[in-house]
Amino acid sequence: MQTLKITKWSTVLVNGFFLVILNLSVITVIGYLTLDSEANLNSRLGGILASFFIPYFIVTKTRQMNGLERMLKYGAGFVLYIISALVMVGFPMAFQFCLLPCLVIGLATLYYGERLA
């Protein structure tokens, strides 16, 4: 019985670690495509496409989850990035750099993506 508890906690810990890594990598890609000093219209368009297709891929692999659970697990990085972007650069700059629309598109795809798939 003790081994079962250790295995369960270790599984939760490892799953949580990889969810954090996945969230950080997704928001890093979108942030690099939109906020970089060399970002032009092409890279911002790539950020918009990535903010739709990366969460859509997550939706197709997690069809058994409901939208809210998927958004809380895989969209936590998006929410934290929205908050930090609004604090650091402000709403006008985040909207002008196309970061805020990209993050909202990603969250909406995670939540409503099962209707698309």
Q: Please tell me the pTM assigned to this model.
A: 0.86
List all residues 6 or more positions away from 110 whose beta carbon is below 8 Å from its beta carbon. Answer: 55, 58, 59, 67, 70, 71, 74, 75, 78
Taking the CB of residue 3, how many other CB atoms lie within 10 A of it? Answer: 7
pLDDT in tens, 50-106: 999 999 999 999 999 999 999 999 999 999 999 999 999 999 998 998 999 999 999
* Amino acid at residue number 46: G
List all residues 6 or more positions away from 87 whose beta carbon is below 8 Å from its beta carbon. Answer: none
pLDDT of residue 3: 61
- State both tokens at 71: 């958004």
